[in-house]
Chain A
């Protein structure tokens, strides 16, 4: 049997690298052209400062990396609200994936460094750390799935 922390870390790792429904799997052989493509269904969505065009795969990657930095800061600052995090507009898909991996690694270190009893503590918006990290993992799966659809829309453009 796993402890709560071991289970959460296993879920965190698998949403990145499992053979089914993972970020690693959906990013395989991604090209820059594909990552920059915006389907017309996202036309009219205002572009956020420091982020790629909304609806592009590059946006998903930059958004995830941004969130990882925000989550790391949230765990370090808890129970206080974390300082604002800035976006990083990637120059290419390689740059985006590198930034994503770096910020994800830092987040994993934060989670792995938590004491077992820290999972019951509250983060800045009231959820427990355990709830917060479950949300992080679900958020990863969420964006992986949308990247998969974005790849289909690109192929069918």
Chain B
């Protein structure tokens, strides 16, 4: 039987690399053109300062990495309610964005791994149980991987 932390880490890893419905599965053989593509359904969305165009796969990659940075901050300073959202550190190419995402994800995994088992009961920032927070992270990963899959379909359809 796995502990709660082992269960969470297994789910965290599955969301990234499982053969079905995972980040690695949907990002296989991505091209630069594909990640920069914006479907017309997103053209009315305002582009935030420093961010890729909304609806692009590049936006999804930067968004996931941006929130990993915040999650790390929360886990490193679990009682610091004054912490603010990080500055976006957007990359402009697929290779750069992916490299940054991989590095930040590794740090996030290390932070989760290093939590003591009883740390999962701690109320993060006084608001959310740490275990629930990590479940949210995992769900968020699956959510965006899935939207990348649709973005790839939209790109293929537009380029037939």
Interface residues of A (CB under 8 A from B): 1-4, 6-8, 10-11, 14-15, 18, 20-22, 40-41, 116-117, 119-120, 130-131, 134-135, 137-139, 141-146, 148-149, 152-153, 156
A21–B142 Cα gap in the complex (Å)? 10
17 new A-B contacts, CB < 8 A, other than A2-B120, A20-B136, are A3-B1, A4-B4, A7-B7, A10-B131, A11-B11, A11-B139, A21-B143, A40-B157, A134-B11, A135-B18, A137-B139, A138-B138, A141-B143, A145-B144, A146-B147, A152-B41, A152-B42
A11 touches B120 (CB 8 A): no
B7 touches A138 (CB 8 A): no
A50–B130 Cα gap in the complex (Å)? 42
Q: Which of B72-80, B84-92, B103-111, B148-156 contacts A (4 or more CB under 8 A)?
A: B148-156
A15 touches B149 (CB 8 A): no
A15–B21 Cα gap in the complex (Å)? 15
A7 touches B131 (CB 8 A): yes
Q: A22 — nearest CB in chain B belongs to which residue? A: B139
26 CB contacts below 8 A, A to B, read A1-B117, A1-B118, A2-B4, A2-B120, A3-B4, A4-B3, A4-B4, A4-B6, A10-B131, A10-B132, A11-B139, A14-B132, A14-B136, A20-B136, A21-B136, A22-B139, A134-B11, A135-B21, A137-B139, A138-B11, A138-B138, A142-B21, A142-B146, A144-B146, A145-B143, A156-B41
Judge if B145 is at the interface, Cβ distance under 8 Å. Answer: yes
A156 touches B120 (CB 8 A): no
A8 touches B7 (CB 8 A): yes
Judge if B113 is at the interface, Cβ distance under 8 Å. Answer: no
Report B51 CB to chain A, min CB distance, Å: 18
A20–B133 Cα gap in the complex (Å)? 11
Contacts of A120 in B (CB 8 A): 1
Contacts of B118 in A (CB 8 A): 1
B150 touches A135 (CB 8 A): no
The secondary-structure label for the interface of chain A is: helix
B2 touches A119 (CB 8 A): yes
A117 touches B1 (CB 8 A): yes
A10–B145 Cα gap in the complex (Å)? 22
Given known pairs A131-B14, A145-B143, the reply for A10 and B1 (CB within 8 Å) is: no
B146 touches A145 (CB 8 A): yes
Report B135 CB to chain A, min CB distance, Å: 5
B135 touches A11 (CB 8 A): yes
Contacts of B11 in A (CB 8 A): 11, 134, 137-138
A138 touches B135 (CB 8 A): no
A67–B132 Cα gap in the complex (Å)? 25
Contacts of B149 in A (CB 8 A): 146
A156–B15 Cα gap in the complex (Å)? 30
Contacts of B120 in A (CB 8 A): 1-2
